[in-house]
Structure 1
Amino acid sequence: MGDILVGTCSWTDRALVASGWYPRGRRDAEGRLRFYAERFPVVEADSSYYALPSERTSRLWAERTPDGFVFDVKAFSLLTGHPTRPDALPADLRPALARRRAPDPGGRDAGLLDELWARFTEALAPLRRAGRLGTVLFQFPPSLTPGPRSEAFVRACRERARGWPFAVEFRHPDWWRGDREPATAALLADLDATAVAVDTARDLPTSMPPFAPVTTRRLAVVRFHGRSPHWGTGSKEEAYRHTYTEGELAAWVPRVRGLAERTEQVHVLFNNCCADAAVRAAETMRRLLGEEVPHQLRHACMPLPGLWPGD
């Protein structure tokens, strides 16, 4: 039976910080992370999706967390084919982004991507050296629909990230629908990539099937995005606003345990926003799975509730 690590998709979300979950004296950058890491063993760093992280930042993350704590780091938006604002890049790379037209890993913008990959790798090196890197999450946009061209793009990303711990979350539901499901699982298994299972709203055109495949022995990942009816259409706050009920989480318990029986480790991460809804859901899931929840977490939630390139 593999280890099951439960946490949230951010420890710096504005709604969480404003909720009062962090006590006085623990609300600065260092205090928040240390407080979080005393209560959960895993967290997703999503800031790296919006802007290239720095080596100094990931070094501080490693220094402020205990042995055994791990970060799942979200890949920078441009690396996964998402639209990216020029000001998300370092100033010296912005002109190259302005000239770039579309994702083309082997073509005219290869020089820009080469530099982005190099800087991204360098930035995360402190986490690797400290044993704090769980996986790098490549969340591909809804515009990446199944087909040969999209598969080639995913393969090109994996080639650039050869040797990295690599997890994939597709945002177009057709990757996991009907007859396509086995082919998608086979693609990820061939790439030694972890398939990310998701929980989202049901019965919407953009709903993701709650399929939980195992494509690598090393790791399985489940991300709980909430069940807002605005999933895929509303603002970030609307799309992810949801308070999970115990029944909704209990339905996932046998699936999570099933993943643990087939992998070395399972990461269960909550991305539902609205005050401290994510940390409360994470605490409930840990209890349902039979994990021992630290006394501090129970008290806090009651009232407000590898190898890498170049190695």
Structure 2
Amino acid sequence: MIYIGVTGWGDHDIYPKGMASRDKLKEYAAHFLTVEVDASFYAVQPARNVEKWVNDTPADFRFVVKAYQGMTGHQRGEIPFSSKEEMFEAFKESLAPYRESGKLAMVLFQFPPWFDCRKENVAYLRYCREKMTGYPVALEFRNQSWFSSSFRSQTLRFMEAEEWIHSICDEPQAGEGSVPTVLKATDKKKTLVRMHGRNTAAWMKPGGKYWRKVRYLYCYNQEELLEWKQNILKLQKQSKDIYVLFNNNSGGDAAGNAKDFIQLMDIEYKGLAAKQLDLF
């Protein structure tokens, strides 16, 4: 099956005017059957939040949960855990409602641009995989070295051997802090595709108050979506379920592109939630 959705459900143009934030996931699930949970990157989520999200979505809905920032070396701000052991255990506890409901698609470990291909980092990936034994986990790199001509084959073999789901990216090609699109599934059951847009000018220019808001400012055109239709058809021959998440939402384009792509792939989802009535 091909699951198509977006990253996060907070800010999109699919909601009735004036809809409260607490009701948005219910409405989101009337349009898409998968979503990336970004809140889990910034803080390990309390059970009450996850239970609400699970209860707000239909039985066929699936969550891609982003790994907590301390687990991937971002560490923006204080990490409220005394050890990595404690941090991983707390994160896994937060996944319980997803697992119990059968709605956990995978956990996404997205590593930062400075996480390059070297022995210490390979060892840390092994550590993460061991700590997440029994969980479906996806791996996304942001450093080009992993897919250089010297390491690409080894990286893919490593991911297969360690049972990492490949998170394949469409993103600007802007030096060592970006990765090429590598159309190779490493798991026969699941593959993740994340569409970051192609805003090369903003991709590798960190700094400034609004950098993160413009980094994903991009709208895919029909030709680019057709290109990705062919890519998905190739990946379908390698992996049973494909998850496609649009992350190009700096200008509000992600949901529209995701809907366009659903139509382009000739998909009609069953099991969506009922749309909320727009009274005002």
TM-score, normalised to structure 1, is 0.82
Match of 2:220 among 244, 251, 265: 244
- Is 1:233 the counterpart of 2:205 in the alignment? yes
- Sort the Cα spacing of 1:48 and 1:254 in 2 relative to 1 into closer, same or farther, 3 A: same
- Map of 2:84 onto structure 1: 113
Aligned partner of 2:77: which letter?
R
- How many angstroms apart in 2 are the aligned matches of 1:287 and 1:262? 23
- Map of 1:254 onto structure 2: 230
Match of 2:71 among 74, 79, 92: 79
Aligned partner of 1:182: which letter?
S
- Map of 2:123 onto structure 1: 152
- How many angstroms apart in 2 are the aligned matches of 1:4 and 1:189? 21
- Map of 1:181 onto structure 2: 152
1:241 shift after superposition: 0.8
- Sort the Cα spacing of 1:75 and 1:203 in 2 relative to 1 into closer, same or farther, 3 A: closer
Aligned partner of 1:5: which letter?
Y
- Is 1:208 the counterpart of 2:179 in the alignment? yes
1:49 shift after superposition: 0.5
Give the helix-richer structure, 1 or 2. Answer: 1
Question: Do the aligned residues in 2 keep the contact of 1:21 with 1:276 (CA within 8 Å)?
Answer: no
- Map of 2:9 onto structure 1: 11
1:249 shift after superposition: 1.3
Secondary structure of the structure 2 residue equivalent to 1:155: helix
Query: How does 1:51-130 map onto structure 2 within 5 Å?
Result: 51-86=43-78, 89=80, 93=81, 96=82, 112-130=83-101
- How many angstroms apart in 1 are the aligned matches of 2:17 and 2:58? 22
Match of 1:37 among 24, 29, 35: 29
Question: Do the aligned residues in 2 keep the contact of 1:9 with 1:271 (CA within 8 Å)?
Answer: yes
1:203 shift after superposition: 5.0
- Is 1:265 the counterpart of 2:238 in the alignment? no
Question: Do the aligned residues in 2 keep the contact of 1:45 with 1:72 (CA within 8 Å)?
Answer: yes
Over the matched positions of the two proteins, sequence identity in percent amounts to 31
What is the CA RMSD across the aligned residues, in angstroms? 1.9
1:158 shift after superposition: 0.4
Question: Do the aligned residues in 1 keep the contact of 2:113 with 2:142 (CA within 8 Å)?
Answer: yes
- How many angstroms apart in 1 are the aligned matches of 2:32 and 2:114? 34
- Is 1:278 the counterpart of 2:254 in the alignment? yes
- How many angstroms apart in 2 are the aligned matches of 1:206 and 1:115? 30
Q: Which runs of 5+ in 2 are unaligned?
A: 276-280
- How many angstroms apart in 2 are the aligned matches of 1:52 and 1:186? 31
Secondary structure of the structure 2 residue equivalent to 1:252: helix
Aligned partner of 1:169: which letter?
E
Aligned partner of 1:197: which letter?
I
Question: Do the aligned residues in 1 keep the contact of 2:214 with 2:250 (CA within 8 Å)?
Answer: no
Aligned partner of 2:150: which letter?
D
- How many angstroms apart in 2 are the aligned matches of 1:21 and 1:214? 31
Aligned partner of 2:205: which letter?
T
Question: Do the aligned residues in 1 keep the contact of 2:197 with 2:218 (CA within 8 Å)?
Answer: yes
- How many angstroms apart in 2 are the aligned matches of 1:62 and 1:157? 25
Match of 1:24 among 13, 17, 24: 17
1:148 shift after superposition: 1.2
Any runs of at least 4 consecutive aligned residues in structure 1 with deviations exceeding 4 A, and if so which?
A: none
Aligned partner of 1:236: which letter?
R
Aligned partner of 1:243: which letter?
C
